[in-house]
Chain A
Amino acid sequence: MTGGKDAPLLRLSGVGKSYGNVIALRDVSLEASEGEVTCVLGDNGAGKSTLIKVVAGLHRHDTGTYEVQGERVVFDSPRDALDRGIATVYQDLAVVPLMPVWRNFFLGSEKRRGFGRMDVAFMRSTTHAEMAAMGIDLRDVDQPIGTLSGGERQCVAIARAVYFGAKALVLDEPTAALGVKQAGVVLRYIVQARERGLAVVFITHNPHHAYPVGDRFLILNRGQSIGYHTKDEITRDELTGLMAGGRELEELAHELDAAGSPAATRIKKEAETLNPADG
């Protein structure tokens, strides 16, 4: 730990990214430290995906700085990020559905025993053990990963990242496509990863998933940060309000008010309850 307590594991300051003339991300700052969950919230198109791609090394940022343990970095590929201990679990999980669970678990980091020969027995038993440690008892690690449920697949992807020595875990909407129970399993695993001392960056559009597990919350809207709070600065309702676009509702109320619409008072009230922080 080079920077000690002063330097968080990941720090983005004023990061921006454009694709041609489209500004996808502007002046976004973010920190993630060991044993903390940093939640990135935002609606569709808010820039969450772009942010995650910058963090994961898929895209380079155009402006601002990106520091890992106090050291400025520019990643050329996801491999560079992985070498720094930053593992990303994408929405599509980066698993190959037709391949057995154990092959997916070790894909790209196969354990070998010379002559390019894989240590199949080791990989099978390790996969089984790692999944068992997460509370998923796979009877058969040879089953295609496509036959697992969404939550289980998510857990395989997370377990894989943790097993391969990730220090920071970036999760791209891990609960988005899951049912309530399965989302619960994944959230529990996020907490477990935090307790293991990992820095977790949790991207989601669901404040109800983010608030119970998060320590810091970054709210994005249209590529810009509209709020960056620690847990003690913000309540669940305020977070929901920021997410639900309370400010936009307020503006709508003003417009309707000007037009003399009776609906204006109702919307204004709703906006106030949704967005008490901005009053």
Chain B
Amino acid sequence: MTDAVAEPPVAGRGSDERLARQSPLRRLLGRPELGALLGAVALFVFFSVVADAFLRAGSFSTVLYASSTFGIMAVGVSLLMIGGEFDLSAGVMVTSSALIAALTAYQFTLNVWAGVAISLVLTLALGMVNGLLYVWTRLPSFIITLAMFFMLAGLNLGVTKALTGNVASDSVRDMDGFDAARAVFASDLDVLGLRVKITVLWWLLFVVVATWILLRTRTGNWIFAVGGSAASARAVGVPVARVKIGLFMGVAFCAWFSGMHLVFAFATIQSGEGVGNEFLYIICAVIGGCLLTGGYGSAIGAAIGAFIFGMTNKGIVYAEWNPDWFRFFLGAMLLIATVVNLIVRRRVERTP
């Protein structure tokens, strides 16, 4: 029976010869992270040469800290982008989450852990609302989350002012549980003589978990599928709506974590913060190889993207350049990364 179908156009040797045209180098270049990795190495060498202070241990931990604060968000945002959607509300959601924790704990004089828990529930609910609105209206996530972005930005300011008479939340530094929570969300650790913020470790943990989910679990398979072709995924029985809602909630979870870091690092939260950061997260993910159209990318890539972001952000300072140039560099890197991604996608999708 097998022999009956093993006929010329599909014979073994022929296919192998065709496949052999793809050299190992090109295959390697097809990995989503590779472009970002090369870029990161190049930037590292560059700043090491032009900025004397860059290679000092203290500077490096500063770079890692900057990378981690954006990297944690980039984990959730990159998974969402692989799933084919955007979340423009991610930046202000971090502030919302921090405000919820700080304000509820202070206003009701609760243990800060209660504020942390309330914030987790409400922030996940925000992510769920994003997801449900997307699923119900079938509008582009761009529009839904843009609306959410403005509503949250307004709520952050309005509610904070109404409760405190100020644009910042009251300090929760002296409240019960603050020190324990600070140990979890915003402490310093000694790792091999290097003083690093605990967020760096959390960041790496999140990246590992996200990578495992993406590559080794059914959920990961579904994330790639709903981003690559939602209709195909639906046709083979993938619960597309549930996956998308889950991804929005994943971003919300990262926003909650970042928010908690802000609360316990600074004790007071400026209610106008966070605006514009959503683009930085997306830039991290895109530099790391996530396609804007979905279905392709990696959490490791997004982490490298965040590291590039951190290096550029601090490297410019160490090189004693005018930091105004930072945004220019960021934009240029985004452009280069997107063009590289475009080339990758065209090659991968090309049918012989």
Query: Which residues of chain A have a CB within 8 Å of any CB of chain B?
Result: 78-79, 82, 88, 90, 92-99, 103, 106-110, 112, 115-118, 120, 132-140, 143-144, 146-152, 181-182, 184-185, 188-189, 191-192, 195
Contact = CB atoms under 8 A, between A and B. Distances in A.
B1 A195 contact: yes
Q: Taking chain B's interface residues, is the majority helix, strand, or loop, or is none over half, making it mixed?
A: helix
Given A118-B218, A134-B5, A188-B4, A140 B10 contact: no
A135 B232 contact: no
B2 interface: yes
Contacts, number: 130
A216 B351 CA distance: 35
A264 to B, nearest CB: 46
Contacts of B231: 92, 94
Nearest to B220: A118
Given A98-B295, A139-B19, A189-B5, A108 B236 contact: yes
Interface of B: 1-2, 4-12, 15-16, 19, 216-219, 221-222, 224-225, 228-229, 231-238, 295-296, 345, 348-352
B218 A152 contact: no
A192 B218 contact: no
Given A109-B236, A116-B217, A144-B348, A135 B19 contact: no
Contacts of A151: 9-10
A137 B9 contact: no
A103 B10 contact: no
B237 A108 contact: yes
27 contacts: A79-B237, A82-B237, A94-B231, A94-B232, A94-B236, A96-B233, A98-B296, A98-B348, A98-B349, A107-B225, A107-B238, A108-B233, A108-B238, A110-B221, A116-B219, A135-B6, A135-B10, A135-B11, A143-B19, A144-B349, A147-B352, A151-B9, A151-B10, A184-B7, A188-B4, A192-B5, A195-B1
Contacts of A112: 218
- Tell which of A98, A147, A149, A182 has the most Cβ of chain B within 10 Å: A98
Contacts of A189: 5
Contacts of B6: 135
Given A95-B232, A107-B238, A118-B221, A147 B5 contact: no
Nearest to A79: B237
B224 to A, nearest CB: 5
B209 to A, nearest CB: 12
Nearest to A83: B237
A217 B237 CA distance: 30
A4 to B, nearest CB: 26
Given A108-B225, A149-B352, 15 more contacts: A90-B235, A92-B232, A94-B236, A97-B348, A99-B228, A103-B225, A107-B236, A107-B238, A118-B218, A120-B216, A136-B15, A137-B15, A144-B348, A147-B352, A148-B351
Nearest to B13: A137
A121 B327 CA distance: 45
Contacts of A99: 221, 224-225, 228, 295
Nearest to A140: B19
User: Which 6 A-B residue pairs are closest in the complex by CB-CB distance?
Assistant: A108-B236, A135-B6, A96-B228, A137-B12, A94-B235, A108-B237
B58 to A, nearest CB: 40
Contacts of A185: 5, 7, 9-10
A103 B221 contact: yes
Contact of B10 (A92, A118, A136): A136
